[in-house]
Structures are given as C-alpha cells and as structure tokens.
C-alpha cells in the first residue's frame, strides 16, 4: 500500500510539473547538436554540458567523457542493493536539410496545437531528446517525492548516435566495469502504429556493402563495342537480380543460417495486433505486399532477413541520350539480419556471389559500410512482464511485444560487450517525422512517457 501511495505521489508530481518540464525540453532542443557536421562540434559539447548540469542538479554523480569524436555523458545514483539498471539515450540530432521545408526554424522549438493534439516541434523533439528527457523527468519527480534518487541507476547518454557511433564500442570496452548492470533500458523506439504502448523485443541486424564493377579502361561507343565488350551495368544488374528467387527467398549460400521462427507466444501476440499490410503500404502510395511466399507481413518486416538494393549508378543518366558502354558501375546493397545470422558471413557470401558473376577480364572492389548482428531479448526476465503491466496501467491498453524492422546496434553492443539484455521502450509515433523537416513529439508522448517510467521504476524497485 505504501509503495502504491508513493507512486501516486510521483505521478501527481509529474502532472504538476509538466509545464516546467516542457520548458526544460525546449531549452535542450534549442542547442543544434548535429553530430555529423564538424561545424557543430561546439554545439554537441554544449548539449552534453547542459545535460550534465541537469543531472548534477538532481544529485547524480556525473562525468563528461572526451572521446575521439563527441562526448559521452555518464551518471550514477547511490548504490542501494537494488537491481542495477543502465539507461541509454542520445542527445545528438540529425541535420536539418532541406531547411526550406521547415515551417519554423528547426532550433527555435515551440509547442503547437494540431488537429491531432498538442505537439513539441523542433529537431530532436522525438529523436531522441524528448524521449531521453522522459527518463530525466521521471527521476526528477521520484527525488521530489522520496527525497533521493532511485538507487543503482547508471545513465549513458551518447553524442554520436546520428553519425554512426564511431566512439561507442571503444568506450564500452574501456568502461565495461563501470557500466555493467543487470539490464539496459533504451528509449529510442516507438509505440505501436495504433498508439498502444509497446516493448520492442527484437531488432534486425544490418550489413551495408558497396560494390564497384570495373570493365574497360574507358567508356566505349556502344555501336563499336556493344555485344562484344563487357558492360559493367549489365554484369552488376544480373548479379543483383540473382540475389532472390521467384519466391522472394534470398539465394546466397548459408544466408538463412541462424534465422529462427517465431515462438508460439510472439506468434500469438503479433497476430493479435491485426496488422493491415495494405493500409501500411497505402501510406506510401503502394498496395501490394511483396516478399517471401508463405510469410505474414509482420514476419517480413520484423522477423525475416532481407536483401535490398539501395542505390545503383553508372554510365550516362543525364538529359538526352548517350550510347555508351560505361567503364564502371556501382551499387549499394544492405541486408537486414535476424536471429543469430553472422554479419561477416553474410558479407562474405555476397562478395563471393558477385565475384562469380564478374568475367575474368573485369575486376570488382568492395567497400564495407557497417555490420551488426540482430538482437533478440529474453522476455522470460520478470522485468519485461513488470514493465508490460506498468505500461498497461498508464495507457489503459495492454502493451504489445513487438519487433523492429530497423537496427539499433547499441542493443547488440550491450549484449556482446557488457553481457546484458536490453528492454526497448519508447513513446514516439509513426508520424513524428524523425530525420525529416518539421519533426515533432506529442505532448502526450512526453507526459505519459515520464509517467510510464515512474511506474516501471516503481515496479522494478
């Protein structure tokens, strides 16, 4: 009874402090912490310093760590014998181009009333400053009520997520002893499409590969050489087309090693989501699902691996017409991975496949663009059930266990380097326009997100 009463007090504190919390978030959003642009290195550091000051004011022991890139912010609360929890978010943001498509300056954030409700408008509002601050505001309210922070909390807030996290793995390796906890909690995710709360329990991995095929030592006249000389665009197109068979299955030898079917529990949960593939595709002007025959739509976007061509170039594609056999063609290809697929094995299989398609007098080169394994969480950990109940109590709807078609490498890094699973809970919406002009975060997402963390913390303490 006492625990429930204190939780009620914390929720009341969060409601009473919402306007002040929104003011703090707006100040945070004013800092143009674009990590990929060297011109904003000072702004990224300013955002780290702002965040560190907020956490110090709450009573955390805070450090701002220099890296070869942008700073890492870590913080700890006092030990107290509770289960140690590691909270992760990132304070850097995407570039704002094209600037002309913004309705207001991206770093002059504001609250706006829209037909769908009140929103926070500005770069980073949803990805990830608004989400990160739901953590901080929950901690703030907890301290206001209890007089102390929750014990055994470790915070890691990164400044390079939007630029590929080049410093993250070395930092985790160097500070593994200080960061090791029983469970990591990541806030860089979303609610399910219909608005219900969700816990992401699996993430696809990623392999990025660029391939360049070289043929003649110059562009050739297609009348003089066509039909005789190798055409690198044709060679590359044939190699890429052969990546899938007529059923949509990837043809690379060993590609499906480690791919696992859904558990009966997740099969049941995903069926209950009533995902409408036609409606989902209709949002982007399409109507007919494609993919591997015999798989459901959610399996294809959450639990099956993919092979996709992301770009292809070569020859002449300008105005008019030029009859040329190009000397070179290039493509960028990505693979989303599931289960225990080995990213490097997939990369090798793709490279060997392309080499088999290239004639002896041509050559091929490869440029690697990242590789990370899939992450599958152990939902038998009681924390998942406790968090699910807490989310249901806040949102009035049962929380869904969902997958994610994208990749969040930090979850795999936590598992590989720190030996801990991650629980991914966020409150973004599909229409938040992250990485696009006019990014927003619903005030409801922010307010109820902080309340959700208060409930989850209470359940896990």
**Does residue 446 register a pLDDT over 60?**
yes
Phi (first) and psi of residue 45, to 5 degrees: -65, -35
Q: Which two tokens stand for residue 347?
A: 């990369």
Give pLDDT tens digits for 401-440: 999 887 788 998 999 899 999 999 999 998 999 999 999 9
- pLDDT value, residue 406: 79
- pLDDT value, residue 1: 47
Question: Which of 85-99, 163-177, 320-334, 400-414 shows the lowest mean pLDDT across its residues?
Answer: 400-414
Exposure string over 98-125, b if 16+ CB within 10 A, otherwise e: eeeebeeebbebeebeeeeeebbbbbbb
Question: Which of 124-133, 293-302, 320-329, 405-414 shows the lowest mean pLDDT across its residues?
Answer: 405-414
Q: Is 346 exposed, middle or buried (0-12, 13-18, 19+ CB in 10 A)?
A: buried
Give pLDDT tens digits for 200-231: 999 999 999 999 999 999 999 999 999 999 99
For the residues 8-13, what does the mean pLDDT come to? 98
For the residues 183-193, what does the mean pLDDT come to? 93
Select the CATH number that applies to the domain covering 205-259+305-372 from these four: 3.90.45.10, 3.30.70.360, 3.20.20.70, 1.10.3720.10. 3.30.70.360
Cβ pair 338, 305 in contact under 8 A: yes
Q: What is the DSSP letter of 372?
A: E
- pLDDT value, residue 4: 66
- pLDDT value, residue 2: 55
The set of residues, in sequence order, having a beta carbon less than 8 Å from that of 407 and lying 6+ positions away, is 203, 204, 205, 206, 336, 372
Percent of the chain with pLDDT over 90: 88
**CATH 2.60.120.10 matches 2-203+375-460:** no
Q: If residue 142 lies in a helix (H) or strand (E), which one and from where to where? A: helix 129-146
Strands 72-76 and 153-158 come out as antiparallel
Q: d(Cα 200, Cα 266) in Å, to the nearest integer?
A: 11
SS3 414: helix
Q: d(Cα 316, Cα 331) in Å, to the nearest integer?
A: 15
Start-end of CATH 3.40.630.10 domains in the chain = 2-203+375-460
For the residues 445-457, what does the mean pLDDT come to? 98
- pLDDT value, residue 334: 96
**Does residue 370 register a pLDDT over 90?**
no
Q: What is the DSSP letter of 320?
A: S
Q: If residue 206 lies in a helix (H) or strand (E), which one and from where to where? A: strand 205-214
Start-end of CATH 3.30.70.360 domains in the chain = 205-259+305-372
Candidates 380, 292, 301, 381; CA nearest to 338 is: 301
For the residues 64-76, what does the mean pLDDT come to? 98
């Amino acid at each position: 009874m006492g625990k429930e009463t204190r939780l009620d007090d914390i929720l009341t504190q969060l409601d009473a402090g919402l306007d002040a919390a929104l003011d703090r978030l707006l100040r945070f959003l004013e800092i143009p912490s674009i990590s990929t642009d060297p011109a904003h290195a000072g702004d990224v550091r300013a955002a780290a310093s702002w965040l560190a000051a907020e956490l110090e004011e709450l009573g955390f022991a805070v450090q701002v760590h220099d890296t070869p890139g942008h700073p890492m912010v870590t913080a700890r609360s006092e030990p107290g014998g509770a289960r140690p929890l590691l909270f992760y978010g990132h304070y850097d943001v995407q570039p704002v181009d094209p600037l002309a498509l913004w309705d207001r300056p991206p770093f002059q954030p504001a609250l706006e009333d829209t037909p769908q409700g009140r929103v926070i408008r500005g770069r980073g509002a949803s990805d990830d400053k608004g989400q990160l601050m739901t953590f901080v505001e929950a901690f703030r309210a907890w301290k206001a009520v209890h007089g102390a922070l929750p014990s055994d909390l470790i915070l890691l807030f990164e400044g390079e997520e939007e630029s590929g996290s080049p410093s993250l793995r070395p930092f985790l390796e160097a500070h593994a002893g200080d960061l090791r906890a029983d469970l990591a909690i990541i806030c860089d995710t979303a609610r399910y499409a219909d608005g219900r709360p969700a816990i992401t329990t699996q993430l696809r991995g990623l392999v990025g590969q660029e391939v360049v095929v070289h043929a003649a030592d110059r562009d050739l006249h297609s009348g003089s050489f066509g039909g005789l000389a190798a055409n690198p665009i044709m060679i590359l197109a044939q190699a890429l087309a052969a990546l899938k068979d007529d059923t949509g299955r990837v043809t690379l030898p060993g590609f499906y090693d480690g791919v696992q079917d859904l558990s009966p529990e997740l099969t049941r949960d995903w069926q209950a989501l009533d995902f409408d593939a036609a409606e989902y595709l209709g949002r982007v002007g399409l109507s007919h699902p494609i993919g591997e025959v015999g798989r459901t739509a959610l399996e294809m976007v959450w639990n099956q691996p993919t092979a996709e061509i992301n770009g292809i170039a070569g020859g002449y594609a300008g105005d008019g017409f030029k009859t040329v056999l190009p000397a070179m063609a290039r493509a960028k290809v990505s693979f989303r991975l599931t289960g225990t697929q080995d990213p490097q094995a997939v990369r090798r299989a793709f490279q060997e496949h392309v080499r088999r398609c290239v004639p002896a007098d041509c050559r091929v080169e490869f440029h690697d663009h990242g590789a990370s394994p899939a992450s599958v969480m152990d939902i038998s950990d009681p924390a998942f059930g406790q968090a699910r109940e807490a989310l249901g109590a806040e949102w009035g709807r049962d929380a869904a266990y969902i997958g994610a078609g994208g990749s969040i490498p930090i979850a795999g890094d936590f598992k590989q380097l720190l030996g801990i699973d991650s629980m991914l809970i966020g409150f973004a919406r599909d229409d938040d326009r992250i990485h696009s002009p006019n990014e927003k975060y619903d005030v409801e997402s922010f307010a109820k997100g902080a309340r959700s963390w208060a409930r989850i913390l209470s359940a896990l303490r």
